[in-house]
Structure 1
Amino acid sequence: MAKTFHLPSPAKLNRLLHITRRRADGYHELQTLFQLVDTGDTISFTPRDDRRIVLNEGIDDVAYEDNLVVRAARLLQATTENSRGVNLSIEKRLPLGGGLGGGSSNAATTLLGLNHLWQLNAGTDQLSALGLQLGADVPVFIKGHSAWAEGVGEKLTNVTLETPWFVILHPGVSVSTAAVFQDPELTRNTPPITMARALQGGAPTWRNDCEAVVKKRYPPVAAALDWLNCFAPSQLTGTGACVFAAFETHEVAKQIARDASQHWPTWVAKGLNRSPLHDALGG
């Protein structure tokens, strides 16, 4: 019987997100600090003797053809002319449209997991280039380290950030990234800064340029931020919908999370600098 193995697909937080300009092609140049955290999804892999990519357990409301796990597997299979297949399943914990990078992380875990399963020996640069075809956030999960990012998020420099305990709230809405970036009120002209200056500023001065637009378009996000700001400086991650705050101790974070869970789905997560996926693969 073919042996199944399981790999973590960790979440990320954007500790800072500045939008510096809108390009002629419609994409936005940004600067951000990605921090990995120790919560996320799990993806399971079982080898097949044929070329089929089978998704045994996927995501509600996401079609098979659109699932980033399937797209990542097919892309890697086609690029490497691999003749083997796989059964995949996703144990989904991260919400869709939450700004936690769930889909991008799933794609990255799939690429790295299949590179291991199929013994392709592709390097992280090659896999990151493939991942970028699937989404701007995929490379940071493939590289597997907290990072300063520029461009559309693909130009990465590893950084070492503080690793507090985070309380993460999901306000119960799914935010459309496209709608946020198309909003005429979105800040698109934040002056670029150096990585050194960004790191020197630190929390709680870090901010997210998408936050004002998301709060206006999605009142439940504004309500969650207002509540969490009563305990610590809080902000949006990515284009939302999740919001978060950092706490020094696990006990304090757990106490805040217990109160928050009466109103919203809530996670307590430890900040990381190295991905648990890379630890699991021994890379």
Structure 2
Amino acid sequence: MTTLTLPAPAKLNLFLHITGQRSDGYHELQTLFQFIDVCDQLSFTLTDDDQIALTPAIAGVAFESNLIVKAARLLEPYKSATSGVSIQLKKVLPMGGGIGGGSSDAATTLLALNQLWQCQLPLDKLAELGKTLGADVPIFVFGHAAYAEGIGEKLTQTTPETPYYVLLKPNCEVPTVQIFTDKYLTRDTPAIRISHALKLDGHNDCLEVVRRLYPEVDDAFIWLSQFGEAKLTGTGACLFMACSSKEEAERVKAAVPEKWQTWVCHGCNTSPAHDALNQWIAAQH
């Protein structure tokens, strides 16, 4: 049977400004998304039945609530193939880390099954479907570093620098909803132009709220700040720091206390999922 294996990369918010709140409760924001080469891995194997199977199950997440399954369900009405799919997930990205693991898994599922089920949907349509699963899904569907506005859906492709980063995960999960509903969250940061964004003049408006609510993040932020400019990605819990070289990143990683998960990773302006999918498509022809 046909199998397609693709990565689902993490993302970093190089900055995150909250510029307002809409009447429906959603926040207006400005942010700069970049991928990193730390990834989950998903393998999709076509099956003779019309079922969707996913292994292993994720603890605490019901099958139909899993974004991978939801993404597959969204494509069922469009499939030309009569086959089902068996999906194997190799989970690397931590949940509640602000690096978009669930959204990336959903996007990789849309990209893979669009090919395997011969749905022939353009990226715009896949992104539109993906947006119903989460505001970050379209960035992974389009697969290019981008400056985002609105609620994160207005994307402009960008090419920020691609340094090596140290990525650090404190021992906690931060629910996005908790941060966005906190009364102390700054919601009136003045909007900036994309030229300023690319100079990385920004900050993360969620940082102070997360540090106050999660002492573990505060500890890790203070620790990482002794080596350079520590930043929070998304609503956290993950922190990251750009380094001048891979060697510098390795040195910082070697000093990280054992209680925290840590990675050395490289910034990517095109998604590893798209790179792998394009290689697979080329090999089919």
Question: Normalising by the residue count of structure 2, what TM-score does the alignment of the two structures yield?
Answer: 0.95
Aligned residue number for residue 15 of structure 1: 14
- Are the aligned partners of 1:58 and 1:89 in contact in 2 as well (CA < 8 Å)? no
Question: Aligned match of 1:219 in 198, 215, 225?
Answer: 215
Aligned residue number for residue 109 of structure 2: 110
Quick one: distance in 1 between partners of 2:175 and 2:120?
Answer: 36
Unaligned ranges ≥5, structure 1: none
Q: Which stretch shows the higher mean deviation, 254-263 or 98-107? A: 254-263
Give the 5 Å matches for 1:66-215: 66-80=65-79, 83-200=82-199, 202=200, 205-215=201-211
Q: Which stretch shows the higher mean deviation, 253-262 or 81-90? A: 81-90
The residue type equivalent to 2:249 in the other structure is A
Deviation at 1:58, TM superposition (A): 3.2
- Are the aligned partners of 1:9 and 1:105 in contact in 2 as well (CA < 8 Å)? yes
Question: Aligned match of 1:243 in 239, 243, 265?
Answer: 239
- Are the aligned partners of 2:98 and 2:237 in contact in 1 as well (CA < 8 Å)? yes
Deviation at 1:82, TM superposition (A): 6.1
- Are the aligned partners of 1:59 and 1:90 in contact in 2 as well (CA < 8 Å)? no
Q: Which stretch shows the higher mean deviation, 190-199 or 138-147? A: 190-199
The residue type equivalent to 1:95 in the other structure is P
Deviation at 1:206, TM superposition (A): 2.5
Quick one: distance in 1 between partners of 2:136 and 2:161?
Answer: 21
Quick one: distance in 1 between partners of 2:121 and 2:259?
Answer: 45
CA-to-partner distance for each residue in 1:128-154, whole Å, 9 max, x for gaps? Answer: 000001000000001001000011111
CA-to-partner distance for each residue in 1:224-247, whole Å, 9 max, x for gaps? Answer: 110000001011100000000000
CA-to-partner distance for each residue in 1:50-84, whole Å, 9 max, x for gaps? Answer: 22111122322211111100000001113557643
CA-to-partner distance for each residue in 1:2-28, whole Å, 9 max, x for gaps? Answer: 233210000000001000111100110
- Are the aligned partners of 1:77 and 1:83 in contact in 2 as well (CA < 8 Å)? no
- Are the aligned partners of 1:164 and 1:246 in contact in 2 as well (CA < 8 Å)? yes
Aligned residue number for residue 5 of structure 2: 6
CA-to-partner distance for each residue in 1:147-204, whole Å, 9 max, x for gaps? Answer: 000111111110001010010110010101111011000000011111122223x2xx
* Runs of 4+ deviating beyond 6 Å: none
The residue type equivalent to 1:85 in the other structure is G
Give the 5 Å matches for 1:53-72: 53-72=52-71
CA-to-partner distance for each residue in 1:199-227, whole Å, 9 max, x for gaps? Answer: 23x2xx43100010000000100111100
- Are the aligned partners of 1:168 and 1:245 in contact in 2 as well (CA < 8 Å)? yes
Q: Which stretch shows the higher mean deviation, 207-216 or 253-262? A: 253-262
Quick one: distance in 1 between partners of 2:93 and 2:39?
Answer: 6
Aligned residue number for residue 228 of structure 1: 224
The residue type equivalent to 1:19 in the other structure is I
- Are the aligned partners of 2:81 and 2:118 in contact in 1 as well (CA < 8 Å)? no
Deviation at 1:120, TM superposition (A): 1.6
Aligned residue number for residue 281 of structure 1: 277
Unaligned ranges ≥5, structure 2: none
SS at match of 2:177: helix
> What root-mean-square deviation, in Å, do the aligned CA atoms of Structure 1 and Structure 2 show?
1.3
Quick one: distance in 1 between partners of 2:62 and 2:34?
Answer: 29
SS at match of 1:14: strand
CA-to-partner distance for each residue in 1:40-59, whole Å, 9 max, x for gaps? Answer: 10011010122211112232
- Are the aligned partners of 1:146 and 1:273 in contact in 2 as well (CA < 8 Å)? yes
SS at match of 1:42: strand
- Report the count of equivalent residues: 279
SS at match of 1:24: coil
Quick one: distance in 1 between partners of 2:240 and 2:103?
Answer: 19
SS at match of 2:228: coil
Aligned residue number for residue 45 of structure 1: 44
Quick one: distance in 1 between partners of 2:94 and 2:55?
Answer: 19
Quick one: distance in 1 between partners of 2:64 and 2:119?
Answer: 24
SS at match of 1:33: strand
